[in-house]
Structure 1
Amino acid sequence: MTSIDQAVINEAAERLRTAAEGRVPCAPVRDLLGTEDMEAAYRVQQLLTAWRLNAGSVVTGRKIGLTSSAVQAQLGVDQPDFGFLFGDMDVSGGDVHMVRLLQPKAEAEIAFVLSDDLDDPDLGPADVRAAVAHAAPALEIVDSRVADWDISLTDTVADNASSGLYVLGDARLRLDEFEPRATTMRMYVNDVRVSEGNGAACLGDPLNALLWLARTAHALGEPLRAGQVVLSGALGPMARVAAGDRVHAEISGLGTVSATFTDKDSA
């Protein structure tokens, strides 16, 4: 159990919220939380989530982070994490407006849309597979409120797993039509290949990542629900993006997904 008191949790959450609202990256919060206290980091995340819900946001799913060894190496961490997805994070079908982001990077993923609740303490692989209505190709636009992406595991967990926005491609395939572990991925920025990987790079199988999340969410008292979107975690390294960039990912057997970044006002 964490020994960090609520006042410190509040201070860390307020630092991250101020960075997000003011669009000025902040110092890491590990000076307050340390680098290993996951419980404290998730308490900060929960507080930020509560503030967002109180402001009218709606939870539409979860994102799994740090499932790829390549991304773990990029950030110097060694285990997955998760954050919440909100309705206004879905920017499928339109431009991605840089005004909503601070230090964006893109990564290609598989999105799972659930047909059933995953509310059981004894979930197994067959349970999560059966609960997937369909899969879709996805780009997650990760972001960090921490300056220069200078993050430890507690920094990214507290910061809603460095969430930003996400884009879903048009394909919708059932798991009897598409096997996540067998897929390969290539991602391009402005037609230059910047990342490649495969389903096995995501905890050995993206469905393993979904199982990890389902068990973790249940243990925390907030199980995954039917209709929610779950982003599997990256299939390969993430890449920086800037205004004017077009990102395109090809996920074999599933389809393609693209996004164009613009510095035009989203209003």
Structure 2
Amino acid sequence: MTDKANKYALHLKQALENRRGVEPITKLDPAITIAEAYQVQLLTVDKKVKAGHRIVGKKIGLTSEAMQQLLKVDQPDYGHLLDDMIVENGGSIPFSRVLQPRVEAEIAFVLKRDLIGPRVTALDVLLATDYVLPALEIVDSRIADWKIKLQDTVADNASSGLFVLGGKPVKPDAIDLPQVGMVLYKNGEIMNTGVGAAALGDPAACVAWLANQLFEFGIPLKAGEVILSGALSAAVNAQPGDHFHARLAHLGEVQVHFVAE
């Protein structure tokens, strides 16, 4: 698989180098499996780490019915968060950093101890979590026009782009996470609303799912890592000049601004 993984990792890298989306991997290789797609992701992440970047967490994608319908898939996926993906709350994102961004609001978990599958439960997640925060994830795709299947987004690090943490740290036992309400605004206009239960019924269950899935690759969720637990509603397209902010009940606000260059 190494040769194939290298081939498709370089294919995705071309999108960033040329500032233009590339053909879907599933069009080049219709037989590629989900497991092979994860090998492409892991190889790409490993190369970034060797180049000096640091893994700061993980993300879970496609947890909400809205996102699964949007991308026509029927299961979640996951990717890695690196230090060059962090954007400060209220910060600006030059549009040169993204290709075709979409913004979604979610709940972020910050761990105080490791979580290792294969039998992690939602309760285990709560006990291992230091605090939760509101987050904006800027998903992005190196595949042209978001014409992706599950294998495409998996290989492309779960269509990860950037992320913003905001609000105030809240202990997970202080709130009912499935009942946390969310409102996402674009340029002051409500784009969509959601609730914690939109993510597999419980954001903590999403994190448990992730810990158990990563066990197959020998990857733990580590103390100090940020885990983005999944979108609470469909992602919203972003253009230069757009300002996004989300309000999550009991957790506060998080915001970001896209600027032209």
Q: TM-score range by the shorter chain?
A: over 0.9
Contact 1:12 / 1:32 at 8 angstroms: preserved in 2? Answer: no
Q: Distance in 1 between matches of 2:121 and 2:135?
A: 25
Q: 2:167 aligns with which of 170, 188, 206?
A: 170
Partner SS for 1:232: strand
- Aligned equivalent of 1:157: 154
- Aligned equivalent of 1:11: 7
Where in structure 1 are there 5+ consecutive unaligned residues?
none
Contact 2:133 / 2:251 at 8 angstroms: preserved in 1? Answer: yes
- Aligned equivalent of 1:24: 20
Contact 1:104 / 1:241 at 8 angstroms: preserved in 2? Answer: yes
- CA distance 1:35–1:107, shift in 2 (3 Å): farther
- Aligned equivalent of 1:85: 81
Contact 1:170 / 1:257 at 8 angstroms: preserved in 2? Answer: yes
Q: 1:253 aligns with which of 250, 254, 258?
A: 250
Contact 1:35 / 1:153 at 8 angstroms: preserved in 2? Answer: no
TM-score by length of 2: 0.96
Q: Mean Cα displacement is larger for which, 108-117 or 173-182?
A: 173-182
Q: Mean Cα displacement is larger for which, 24-33 or 140-149?
A: 24-33
Q: 1:122 aligns with which of 113, 119, 122?
A: 119
Contact 2:126 / 2:173 at 8 angstroms: preserved in 1? Answer: no
Regions of 4+ moved over 6 Å = none
Q: How many residues are paired up? A: 260
Q: Distance in 2 between matches of 1:120 and 1:25?
A: 35
Q: Distance in 1 between matches of 2:30 and 2:221?
A: 29
Structure 1 position 217, deviation (Å): 1.4
- Aligned equivalent of 1:135: 132
- CA distance 1:201–1:144, shift in 2 (3 Å): same
Structure 1 position 36, deviation (Å): 6.6
- Does residue 191 (structure 1) correspond to residue 188 (structure 2)? The answer is yes
TM-score by length of 1: 0.94
- Does residue 53 (structure 1) correspond to residue 83 (structure 2)? The answer is no
- Tell me how large the CA RMSD over aligned residues is: 1.3
Contact 1:34 / 1:154 at 8 angstroms: preserved in 2? Answer: no
Identity rate, percent: 45
Where in structure 2 are there 5+ consecutive unaligned residues?
none
